[in-house]
Chains A and B, each alone.
Chain A
Amino acid sequence: MTKFNAWNVIKNGLNGQSYWTRQWRDPEPKSIYDVVIIGGGLHGLATAYYLAKNHNIKNVAILEKGWIGGGNAGRNTTIVRSNYMMPGNHEFYEHSLKLWENLSHELNYNVMFSQRAHVSLFHSPGAKDSVSRIYNIMRLHGTDAELWDLKTLKKKIPHLNYHNSRFPILGAAVQKRAGNARHDAVAWGYARAADTLGVDILQNCEVTGFTRKNGNIESIQTSRGIIKGKKIGFAVAGNTSMLWQMAELGNLPIESHKLQAFVSEAVKPLLDQVVVYGVGGAHFYISQSDKGSMVFGGDLDWYKSYAQRGNLPMVQDVAEAAMAIFPSLGRIRLLRHWAGVMDMTMDGSFFICKTPISNLYLNAGWNYGGFKASPASGWYFADLIANESPHNYVQNHNLERFEKGINIDERGAGPDPKLHG
């Protein structure tokens, strides 16, 4: 692997770009690995990278049924933030944000992480109190958080709908260190860095069954033959229930829902921040990509689905929210929209935990928050697999928390997966 630096850019510039090596290998599967991670998305790739980097476990394979970064890694709105308040969640997401801040250097790959600020609008004194509580909790834990009054907000984002809106804007809760990143680069960066440390990335390798022995999973049947793993990790959010049932483990506190995202044609620089609008049933978040496209999304499609395609009522809903808050977008044309399948959990929080099978570990249930979580998800999942006990931050992110009554429910929405957006 050729390192990306100024010297190599100049050298290859003078040699017709002929000295670059491929970024990761395409190896044949070995018969046995120390750890097999199922799922070549951001979480699986990050897990393999941190297993090799932090725990020196390098005999690792990632099994991916399609191509890496082809699932939800490429189907999100790339927002990175850490505005969480529940114990466990805020430490976890804050660590993730810190990993993001150094990720391009860490991976020697420009993930285009841009800390452009995450601006969450509020529209009533009650909403201001509610968000102030969350952002004060963040400050108490050392995370940056601030409130912008209307004057500051108008100066920073002059073209929001301040005049005739049904719900007048009163101000915004802001996390300045938050922002977004380039999703493909994150997948490729982790893949390249993991591969360099010896991880085998096996694409077009679909898991079709498991062979059990003495309570453990002894081997995995795949479309590229039988692969054995001393330890096995699931990181297949969206399809976790399918794999869970393939391992004959029964039900999970998860429903699969689809979430749409939208990209417009490219326009001149219009928006320097990530803006979030949510009031009166609306839910809308928007940023502008480096190419100039407006990237935005809204709610789930509200019914359970494994289809990776969106439905039109939500397109209308999101367009209405866009017009309510950003009337200047009225003439913009939509380029693409798509849907990703999410693990929506019963309390809106994720799972990084052990399972009833002693050599199987679970990483699942990322709801809306999978993209920003991916570095810390890999970090703590690798930690769990290597040390066989969960780190303090994720000690309650397990399947037993519901029976124990320690749900980690940021919104207090109750046991209905579709409400945890």
Chain B
Amino acid sequence: MIRINCPYCGERDHSEFSYGGDATINYPSLDASEKEWTEAIFFRKNIKGFQFETWHHSNGCRMWLVVERSTVTHEIKSVKPCHPNLQKVVENNK
């Protein structure tokens, strides 16, 4: 079991969460070329090692998180809210 330290709820089993995917995708502007959109939607770095990825606390607070996790050892380095402004709220409340 992977344990994810949700910034809102505390440490929980990963079975409470749903895996999203690559958190580093930058979607291009709406008038960007098909090539750029194809790259953003379909192509992935598929990192072996630490990567930033999204998880949804679907059976908890239902917030989206950015998790820095190794895809080899499953070790987690950091967990943050997806939205940068919410990160500040979490820090102010500590």
Residues of A bordering B, CB below 8 Å: 239, 241-242, 250-256, 302-307, 311-313, 346, 402-403, 415-418
Contacting pair A256 B46 (CB below 8 A): yes
Closest to A256 in B: B46
Contacting pair A251 B19 (CB below 8 A): no
- Chain A residue numbers with a CB within 8 Å of B71 are 256, 304-307
- Chain B residue numbers with a CB within 8 Å of A255 are 21, 44, 46
Contacting pair A307 B19 (CB below 8 A): no
CB within 8 Å: A-B pair count: 70
Contacting pair B38 A254 (CB below 8 A): no
Contacting pair A305 B42 (CB below 8 A): no
Contacting pair A242 B48 (CB below 8 A): yes
- Considering the chains assembled together, what is the distance between the CA atoms of A306 and B49 in angstroms? 9
- Considering the chains assembled together, what is the distance between the CA atoms of A415 and B72 in angstroms? 23
Contacting pair B46 A305 (CB below 8 A): no
- Chain A residue numbers with a CB within 8 Å of B94 are none
Contacting pair B1 A251 (CB below 8 A): no
B14 at the interface (CB under 8 A from A): yes
Knowing A304-B19, A307-B73, A313-B14 touch, does A252 contact B44 (C-beta < 8 A)? yes
B89 at the interface (CB under 8 A from A): no
Residues of B bordering A, CB below 8 Å: 1-2, 13-15, 18-19, 21, 34-35, 38-39, 41-46, 48, 51, 53, 71-74
Knowing A306-B71, A311-B1 touch, does A415 contact B41 (C-beta < 8 A)? yes
Knowing A253-B42, A313-B14 touch, does A306 contact B48 (C-beta < 8 A)? yes
Contacting pair A415 B42 (CB below 8 A): yes
Contacting pair B19 A302 (CB below 8 A): yes
- Chain B residue numbers with a CB within 8 Å of A242 are 48
Contacting pair B44 A305 (CB below 8 A): no
Knowing A251-B43, A252-B46, A253-B42 touch, does A305 contact B1 (C-beta < 8 A)? no
Closest to A258 in B: B71
Contacting pair B38 A403 (CB below 8 A): yes
- Considering the chains assembled together, what is the distance between the CA atoms of A302 and B46 in angstroms? 15
Residue among B34, B42, B74 with most chain A CB within 10 A? B42
- Chain A residue numbers with a CB within 8 Å of B74 are 305, 307
A82 to chain B, nearest CB (A): 27
Contacting pair A303 B45 (CB below 8 A): no
Knowing A313-B1, A403-B35 touch, does A254 contact B44 (C-beta < 8 A)? yes
Contact partner of A306 (CB less than 8 A), chosen from B38, B53, B72, is: B72
Contacting pair A253 B43 (CB below 8 A): yes
A318 to chain B, nearest CB (A): 14
Closest to B18 in A: A302
Contact partner of A251 (CB less than 8 A), chosen from B13, B15, B44, B53, is: B44
- Chain B residue numbers with a CB within 8 Å of A252 are 43-44, 46
- Chain B residue numbers with a CB within 8 Å of A402 are 38, 41-43
